Structure 1
């Protein structure tokens, strides 16, 4: 077990399903791998009561520096990445759990520059992206020609802006909601396409504008969702 003085302090921003999972794992197993909680923040602080130790509850996110987190993990919404990302990097390493925020080229540039300036690391988890490291290797070698991702889910699982999914009914089957660049898709479905955003980051030379994304509503997918990745190299598709 790591000594307490050597534990790395982690701040968790967001307390949805993933945030709860991370907090529970750090509370139960963190000391064994050298981690402890610096703070936990949620937009609705009351959700944290009785499940998170009072001493680690952060009431105001703007006061995060007072908690001395060495790594900050965002798992809530792209708006938080935009509003606080550069500030987080001024004092800690930063893991972006909502990489769809980086479809904004200005924000992407700002965070990369902040990481370099402050000597921090900007992490983007691969999440449900299968083959992310292979995509990155093809990109780095100059062999990546095209990349497309189709994500199919039950309509109740989508959180979309506008009227992309208006009027769906149980049993209607399959409906293509959007097909186009990931750059266009991210603002329409910021909470649902982080896997695609991670792929666009891995495929840096294609970027968000060059990686194609498709989201499909399918009422048959009540128990799981499907992610299909097509990677094209110089000779064939994988």
Structure 2
């Protein structure tokens, strides 16, 4: 059992479903796994009343440096990464719960450079991606040729920036919403394609422009999300996986992803000035 003095101090940025889950797990199980809460921030801090001890509530995000965090975990919105990511990495390890924002090449480079200069790790959680470490190994060996990911969900589970799904009706069946590069897809569905963004990080030599993605609205998927990954390598090598991620209607994140995030956080012990898929 980890002692309190050896615990990593964790700051949680965002208190939606995933943020609440992580806060509850750290409070309940943190002492056993070497984690302790440094702060919890939410844009509407009054939402934290009665749910987070007052001394852990951070009302002004810019004052996070006062809490001496080892790692900051963003689980709210890509905009927070855009506004604060570089500042976070200048002081702490940083786990990006909205990796779709990394499709912004300029921001991606700034975060990588900041991590390198400060000896901090930019962590990218695997989320609902199955086989991310295998994709990364194939990429690092130079054998990865192509990567395609299809995410299919009930239309109520999508949060799109356009009005592509404004006319959906129950029982309409399957509709392909977009197919193309993950770089082009991320701005369209920033809250829904973090799995694809994680894959683009794993497949670094292909990158966001080289990895292909497809999102599908399907009214038959009332109980789960589908994530299909097709990996192509040298000499005819290929892998095709299909993951069913249980999810309620309207849920952006599948239920299995919550535990995946927790397991990713347990890996974040510091891996130097680089990007690390966890």
Which TM-score band (shorter chain)?
Answer: over 0.9
Runs of 4+ aligned structure 1 residues displaced above 3 Å come to none
Whether 1:124 aligns to 2:124 is yes
1:7 and 1:211 map into 2 onto residues whose CA distance is 37
2:3 and 2:199 map into 1 onto residues whose CA distance is 37
2:5 and 2:163 map into 1 onto residues whose CA distance is 52
Could you tell me which residue of structure 1 aligns to residue 14 of structure 2? Answer: 14
TM-score of the aligned structures, taking structure 1 as reference length: 0.98
Could you tell me which residue of structure 2 aligns to residue 139 of structure 1? Answer: 139
Partner SS, residue 36 of structure 1:
strand
1:137 and 1:190 map into 2 onto residues whose CA distance is 26
Could you tell me which residue of structure 2 aligns to residue 84 of structure 1? Answer: 84
Could you tell me which residue of structure 1 aligns to residue 24 of structure 2? Answer: 24
How much has 1:237 moved relative to structure 2? 2.3
1:18 and 1:183 map into 2 onto residues whose CA distance is 25
- Give the count of matched residue pairs: 238
Could you tell me which residue of structure 1 aligns to residue 114 of structure 2? Answer: 114
Gaps of at least 5 residues in structure 1 are: none
Could you tell me which residue of structure 2 aligns to residue 44 of structure 1? Answer: 44
Give the alignment of 1:31-70 within 5 angstroms. 31-70=31-70
Could you tell me which residue of structure 2 aligns to residue 154 of structure 1? Answer: 154
Partner SS, residue 163 of structure 2:
coil
CA RMSD of aligned residues (A): 0.8
Whether 1:94 aligns to 2:94 is yes
How much has 1:22 moved relative to structure 2? 0.4
1:12 and 1:80 map into 2 onto residues whose CA distance is 12
Gaps of at least 5 residues in structure 2 are: 240-278
Could you tell me which residue of structure 1 aligns to residue 178 of structure 2? Answer: 178
Could you tell me which residue of structure 1 aligns to residue 209 of structure 2? Answer: 209
Could you tell me which residue of structure 2 aligns to residue 237 of structure 1? Answer: 238
Could you tell me which residue of structure 1 aligns to residue 246 of structure 2? Answer: none
Could you tell me which residue of structure 1 aligns to residue 258 of structure 2? Answer: none
Whether 1:218 aligns to 2:207 is no
> 1:117-167 deviations in whole A, cap 9, x for unaligned?
111111001111011111111111111111000000000000001112120
2:2 and 2:195 map into 1 onto residues whose CA distance is 33
2:221 and 2:32 map into 1 onto residues whose CA distance is 38
Partner SS, residue 187 of structure 2:
coil
How much has 1:210 moved relative to structure 2? 0.5
TM-score of the aligned structures, taking structure 2 as reference length: 0.84
1:163 and 1:218 map into 2 onto residues whose CA distance is 16
1:166 and 1:146 map into 2 onto residues whose CA distance is 33
